[in-house]
Each structure stands twice: as C-alpha cells, then as structure tokens.
C-alpha cells in the first residue's frame, strides 16, 4: 500500500515538473516574441545567450539563433564555429534552409567561391530529395547572390525583375537594392540610380506604415 502511495506521489511530481516546464517555455517564448516585435535586439540577445535558453528551447533553435546573432554582429569566426557545430546535428528541413542561408551568406562575405558552390550543391541535393519550399527559396536566393557576386552574370537582372512581383512587401527594398547593384555591375549607372531611389522610397513608405501601426511587419 505504501509503495502505491509513493508511486502516486512520484507521478504527481513528474506531472508537476512537466507543467512547470511547459509554463516556463511558454513564458520564455512570449519574451522572445516581445523582444522581436519591439525590435529590442539587446533583450533578444540576452534571452538567446542566457543559461535558460538551453533548457527552454531546442538546442538546434538556440544554436541557429546564436549563429544568426553572430552573423548580424559581424563576428564571422564565432558564426563559422557555431555553424560547424550545428552541421553535426539533426535539423528539420526548415532549420536546414535557415542553416544553409546563414552559411552561404558567411562564405559569400569571405569570397570563397569553391566553398559556396559546394554548399549550394548540398542545398540543391536536399531540396531535390524533399521538395521542401523553404529549401527551394533558400537555393533560389543563393543562386541570385552567386550570379551577382561571383563572376557577375547579367542574367541576374532579369531574374531579380521576375522575382520582384512575387516577394512580400518587407522584402521589396532588399530586392530593389540588389537590382541597383546588378545594374551598377553591368555598367548601367542610370538604371542603378533609378532602382536605388526606388529602394529609398520603399524604406520611407515602410517607416510611415510603422509609425501608423507599430506592430506592422512583425
């Protein structure tokens, strides 16, 4: 009888601990979302690099978030080290898309074409096996960046123009800037200037919308 009572108490303890963990994870996630929505990068970094992150988030999510922050802070060596450690882990398909995007951007900054092509081929191979749309988008973006930055390919101008009507509003400015860069590389300075002005107009429009609605684009 006492043994049954002890088992019952232990079972309640396990359920209680699980309930507390679920509550803490929910609260932690809410804090992360609030930091993102308020564009409070200091708070976001504090949360991602806190000791609690390893307990309250999946290790893959923590590592990818940290690699992303290293990338944004231009701490390239730390970013590469984190990405190399992630490489040995099991990632979901959406996590793989984000991982390859971070890694390709890093290699692009370092101007390592052979490594870039190797990563691209890995990404394309995974996409062909799975058909995952996030992987497809990551590969298409990497191909645009390759054409634009390694041995400039003028066909990237048409690629970017075709992509422009399909992107979300928050991505339009980046695409317009890429078009400006592409025209500059192609020695079409007048067109480069036109698209640079369009990008500036897009930025002003986004600022006006955000002033009217602080939660826009989150």
Which residue, 126, 119, 85, 118, is CA-closest to 103? 119
Q: Enumerate the domain spans of the chain.
A: 41-151, 152-212
Q: Give the 3-state secondary structure of the chain.
A: CHHHHHHHHHHHHHHHHHHHHHHHHHHHHHHHHHHHHCCCHHHHHHHHCCCHHHHHCCHHHHHHHHHHHHHHCCCHHHHHHHHHHHCCCCCCHHHHHHHHHHHHHHHHHHCCHHHHHHHHHHHHHHHHHHCCHHHHHHHHHHHHHHHHHCCCCCHHHHHHHHHHHHCCHHHHHHHHHHHHHHHHHCCCHHHHHHHHHHHHHHHHHHHHHHHHCCCCCC
The pLDDT, as a whole number, for residue 101 is 92
Q: Cα–Cα–Cα angle for 11, 13, 16, nearest 5°?
A: 110
Per-residue pLDDT tens digits of the chain, which is 218 residues long: 544 444 444 444 444 466 776 777 777 777 777 777 677 778 888 878 887 777 777 778 888 888 888 888 888 999 999 998 888 778 889 889 999 999 999 999 988 999 999 999 999 999 999 999 999 989 988 999 999 888 888 888 898 888 888 777 777 888 888 889 888 888 899 988 988 888 888 777 766 545 444 443 44
> Is the entire prediction scored with pTM above 0.85?
no
The pLDDT, as a whole number, for residue 107 is 93
The pLDDT, as a whole number, for residue 85 is 87
């Amino acid at each position: 009888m006492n043994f049954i009572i002890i088992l019952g108490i232990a079972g309640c303890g396990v359920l209680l601990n699980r309930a507390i963990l679920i509550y803490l994870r929910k609260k932690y996630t809410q804090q992360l979302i609030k930091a993102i929505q308020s564009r409070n990068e200091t708070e976001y970094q504090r949360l991602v690099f806190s000791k609690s992150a390893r307990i309250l988030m999946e290790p893959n999510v923590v590592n990818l978030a940290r690699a992303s922050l290293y990338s944004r802070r231009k701490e390239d060596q730390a970013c590469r080290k984190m990405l190399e450690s992630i490489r040995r882990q099991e990632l979901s398909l959406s996590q793989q898309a984000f991982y390859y995007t971070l890694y390709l951007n890093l290699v692009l900054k370092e101007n390592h074409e052979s490594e870039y092509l190797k990563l691209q081929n890995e990404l394309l191979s995974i996409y062909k096996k799975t058909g995952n749309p996030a992987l497809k988008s990551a590969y298409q973006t990497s191909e645009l960046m390759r054409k634009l930055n390694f041995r400039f390919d003028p066909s990237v101008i048409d690629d970017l123009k075709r992509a422009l009507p399909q992107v979300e509003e928050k991505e339009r400015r980046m695409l317009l800037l890429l078009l400006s860069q592409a025209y500059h590389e192609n020695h079409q300075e007048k067109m480069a200037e036109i698209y640079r002005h369009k990008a500036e107009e897009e930025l002003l429009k986004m600022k006006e919308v955000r002033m009217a609605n602080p939660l826009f684009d989150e």
